[in-house]
Amino acid sequence: MTQNDTIRIGVGYDIHRLASDRKLMLGGLEIPHDRGLLGHSDADVVLHAVTDALLGAAGLPDIGDLFPDTDDAFKDADSRDLLADVMVMIAEKGFLIGNLDVIVHAESPKMSPYKKKMADSIAKVVGVEPDRVNVKAKTNEGVGPVGLSNAIACTTVALLMRT
Ligand code: MG
C-alpha cells in the first residue's frame, strides 16, 4: 500500500449454522428466535463479515488469523470487542470508515424489523454516524443451507478513507 491510496475497498463474507440453545446475535443485537448461531465466539455472523471487510480494505490479516477459533481466549467472545480491536488497528493505519454496506442472508427470522436497529448497533461499535452503515436483508428463496433455515450468512463491503 502506498501513501497515495486515499480510498480502499474490502469485502467480507461469513456463514454460521443455526443450532438450539444458542442466542441469536446479529450485528451486536440479540434477536428473538428459537435458535442461535453456532460458533467458538458469540458467532455474530454480521459482525464477522463487517470485521473481515474492514480488515481486507486495510490490507490486514483476516479475522481467522487475528482471532483463531482454536484459541480459548476467544471462546464465547463478544464480537463487538473483536471489532473494536480491529477499529484500533485501522485507525493506527491511518484510515477511517467511508461506509459499510451489509447484506444479511437469512430465511428466518425475518430481518426487516431489525435492519435499522442493526445498522445503528454496527455504527456504534465502529464509532461512525448511523448513516454510514446500511443493512439489507435477503432470503435465499428456500434453497441451500440459508434457504432451509440451517444457517445465516452475511456479505459486507467496506470503504475506508485515509485520514
Ligand atoms: Mg464467523
pLDDT score for 74 = 87
Cell, residue 37: 448461531
Backbone angles phi, psi at 8, to 5 degrees: -140, 140
pLDDT score for 14 = 98
User: Tens digit of pLDDT per residue, the chain (163 long)?
Assistant: 555 679 999 999 999 999 999 999 999 999 999 999 999 999 999 999 999 999 999 999 999 999 988 889 888 899 999 999 999 999 999 999 999 999 999 999 999 999 999 999 999 999 999 999 999 999 999 999 999 999 999 999 999 999 8
Q: What is d(CA 153, CA 14) in angstroms, rounded to the nearest whole number?
A: 6
The model's pTM is: 0.96
Q: What is d(CA 157, CA 121) in angstroms, rounded to the nearest whole number?
A: 17
Cα of 11 vs centre of ligand 1, distance in Å, is: 14
Cα of 36 vs centre of ligand 1, distance in Å, is: 13
* Architecture category of domain 7-162 in CATH: 2-Layer Sandwich (3.30)
pLDDT by residue (tens digit) across 96-126? 999 999 999 999 999 999 999 999 999 999 9
Nearest residue to 30 via CA among 67, 70, 78: 78
The burial of 89, by beta-carbon neighbours within 10 Å (0-12 exposed, 13-18 middle, 19 or more buried), is given as: middle
Cα of 43 vs centre of ligand 1, distance in Å, is: 6
Cα of 128 vs centre of ligand 1, distance in Å, is: 23
pLDDT by residue (tens digit) across 65-75? 999 888 898 88
Q: What is d(CA 156, CA 10) in angstroms, rounded to the nearest whole number?
A: 8
Q: What is d(CA 71, CA 28) in angstroms, rounded to the nearest whole number?
A: 21
Taking the domains of the chain in order of start, what are their residue ranges?
A: 7-162
Cα of 2 vs centre of ligand 1, distance in Å, is: 30
pLDDT score for 76 = 87
Helix pair 79-92, 115-126: axis angle to 10 deg: 50
Cα of 5 vs centre of ligand 1, distance in Å, is: 29
